[in-house]
Structure 1
Amino acid sequence: MIGVPLKHERISRILAREIQDGSHRSGERLPGEHLLAQRFGVSRTTVRAALAELSEQGLITTRTGKGSYVLFDGRPPDDRLGWARASAVRGAATTVRTLAVRETHDGALAAELGLARDAFVRVERIRELVSDGTVVSYERSSLPPLPVLRELPVCGVGPESLTELLLRAGLRPDHGEQRIGGRPVDVREAELLRRAPGDWFLETRRTSRAADGSLVEHVVSLLDPEHFQLTLACG
């Protein structure tokens, strides 16, 4: 017999669906507890339980006296793989901008990942504060040159997230590894981030692989420590 979801579970599922389909965008403040309680016809205690579930899923962050803010940006956290997630901590609205999508050859990365071919589709993106355009992160994704992904340099990323594009290309992460540290940014990175060379940033390097060991995605992210925290999710 299938159990009936509790009230807070039903609410968290509805809000999660709205967040994931873009009705509530990354950095946006959710309606307050009182408004949510009115909307769903429940107590504020029930609303708090629903928000706590969304927070545990990495979809929102809640700060006392300030409200709940959306963290989801098209990359659903994969708790099963135990990735450390980078979460904006100040509740500021942000937007993601694609800088470049191109085919490239990178022998050093191919050797590092143990790949026979050195061809990749590389996507570079930055995240900026909506308020003043401050760049708070830079992300460089290296993808296998499959037909769907090789079209990206021509058609661009478009409205789909990279996760959706990878799934459309038949790439599903099964396992991988992630390294986390910090380092000063080099001259080119500093230019993209609009910072000074040598400024210190958090760095994550994540490699996702399919069940057969083939590459799904290799991502290098540089995160402004003033705006991000890292949270390890295990499940």
Structure 2
Amino acid sequence: MTGVPLKHQRISRILAQEIRAGSYPAGEPLPGEHALAQRFGVSRTTIRAALAELTEESLITTRTGKGSYVRFDARPPDDRLGWARPRAVHGAGTTVRTLAVRETRDGALAAELGLEKDVFVCVERTCELVTDATVVSYERSFLPPVPGIRELPAHGFGQDPPTELLRRAGLRPDHGEQRVSGRPVDTHEAELLRRAPGDWFLQTRRTSRAADGSFVEHVVSLLDPDHFELTLTFG
């Protein structure tokens, strides 16, 4: 009958609603094909067709031999908070770990950003899944050493979220740019990510500036492509 969804379409719509509602936290596996087939009273072939539709919608990713996993992109992130923080905010079952907060000099980065001074406060963080401690991102945030930020290496973040610290320091992002590429991780990065050197990761480089064009933040992130994807909208 025209207009009546097929079995696999009906199942994919139900699962999509459950994913968006948070019934299956991002990064965690869906029930297996056999369990889903029993739940909906259909064949595994029908379930595979439903999962294929969810994959096309970027709601899940299928790993050979490991089942189907909900993508982080199932919930829209707030890029103002970086990559790691929004997953925790949206209940994605992740833990953000601060590895280091230190003052550093980087002449090449200062030249790239058009800054006279090459001193930054660098914050290094990783984000890992609560379920199995898989590290899915490694992020380095470079901040100008203004009052309220330059004290961080000595005092740390405390209980304040990064956005609140930036706001109190007078660093209010208004615009910026982000570049996305892919590259193999080096030995040091592989150790932090608990991967093998040479494993391929997405890399984003995001620079934020205030309304007057002054520098606010530069963030370099390495993202596990099994859990992150680049989505572009147009039109």
- After TM superposition, the score normalised by the length of structure 1 is 0.62
CA contact (8 A) 2:27 2:227 kept: no
Q: Percent same amino acid among aligned pairs?
A: 67
**Amino acid of the residue matched to residue 136 of structure 1?**
V
Aligned pairs (5 A) from 1:62-73: none
Deviating above 4 A after TM superposition, structure 1's stretches of 4 or more consecutive aligned residues are 26-29, 66-72, 83-88
Counterpart of 1:188 in 2: which secondary structure? Answer: helix
Partner of 1:180: 180
**Amino acid of the residue matched to residue 198 of structure 2?**
G
Cα distance in 2, alignment partners of residues 171 and 194 from structure 1: 33
Cα distance in 2, alignment partners of residues 149 and 164 from structure 1: 11
Partner of 2:64: none
Aligned pairs (5 A) from 1:140-179: 140-179=140-179
Partner of 1:116: 116
How far did residue 151 of structure 1 move? 1.2
Instruction: Tell me the number of residue pairs that the alignment of Structure 1 and Structure 2 aligns.
Output: 169
**Amino acid of the residue matched to residue 184 of structure 2?**
P
Q: Which has the higher contact order (CA 8 A, sep 6+)?
A: 1
Q: Residue 77 of structure 1: which of 70, 76, 79 is its match?
A: 79
Counterpart of 1:163 in 2: which secondary structure? Answer: helix
Q: Find the structure with the greater CA-based Rg.
A: 2
CA contact (8 A) 2:84 2:137 kept: no
How far did residue 122 of structure 1 move? 0.3
How far did residue 230 of structure 1 move? 2.4
**Amino acid of the residue matched to residue 113 of structure 1?**
L
Cα distance in 1, alignment partners of residues 118 and 100 from structure 2: 19
Q: What 5-or-longer segments of structure 1 have no aligned partner?
A: 1-25, 30-60
- After TM superposition, the score normalised by the length of structure 2 is 0.62
Cα RMSD (Å): 3.5
Partner of 1:100: 100
Taking structure 1 as reference, are residues 146 and 87 closer, same or farther at Cα in structure 2, changes over 3 Å only?
closer
Counterpart of 1:147 in 2: which secondary structure? Answer: coil
How far did residue 95 of structure 1 move? 0.7
Taking structure 1 as reference, are residues 232 and 184 closer, same or farther at Cα in structure 2, changes over 3 Å only?
same
Q: What 5-or-longer segments of structure 2 have no aligned partner?
A: 1-24, 29-57, 61-68
